[in-house]
Amino acid sequence: MRSVGDRLVVGGGARAVVLRRCREACEGCGLAWPWALYLFRLDETGPAASANLVALCAACAGDRPGAFAPLLSERTLRERMRAANNRRTGALALTASRRKRLVAERGGRCEICGVDGAQRQLDVHHRLGLLQGGDDSDENLMVLCIACHHHLQPCANGCGRWARKPATVCTRCRVRRRLEELYSGLTWEEIKARHPSLSP
């Protein structure tokens, strides 16, 4: 099973060169939102050097095989917010081993579409974003495939940021968020059991 443990190790110099080259935008579609961009190797057998790296959003990456890394380095505003939020709430940091454990505990599948980690890259999503005050507690984390992460992330930050996003995905995301607020004591599985039309 491929999961978030398959991270691409990229040096700071190579990351900086790609960041300048792509101007903080997807090299496939031009999406200018650096927090949503990932680095992939052009040639899987080659090194993780800037000439062999491409910055892509989740939509352009699709089911691209191989390891990946976030475009932004660990010393970003997002990471400083993560550390501050974790200190404030007492949550443990989200380490690679904790990510693997979380993926395994949640069945090694995307919590939205149910795709297995062997078929599509899995990642960990924050329900309440770090820049909005969220932390790394288990209650604030979801295991998602890269395609579902692509669709959920913008809805938490304001719809309309993604080009060519299907309206049905956006609607499902809004409906789910409203239902989770309405049934705050229930899990998403319990809510779907009460409303069978929500199941795919």
Burial class of residue 166 (count of CB atoms within 10 Å of its CB; 0-12, 13-18, 19+): exposed
**Separation between Cα atoms, residue 82 and residue 75, nearest integer Å:** 11
User: pLDDT in tens for each of the 200 residues of the chain?
Assistant: 234 446 788 887 888 899 889 988 899 998 887 777 889 999 888 888 999 999 998 888 887 888 888 887 655 666 777 888 888 888 888 888 898 999 999 999 888 888 888 777 888 888 887 767 788 899 989 898 877 777 665 444 344 434 344 555 556 666 777 778 878 888 888 888 877 776 65
**Separation between Cα atoms, residue 55 and residue 74, nearest integer Å:** 16
Query: Sign of torsion, CA 55 60 64 68?
Result: positive
Q: Structure tokens of 36?
A: 């949503």
Bridge partners of 54?
Answer: 40
Cβ proximity of 18 and 39 under 8 Å? yes
Phi, psi of 194 (to 5 degrees): -75, -25
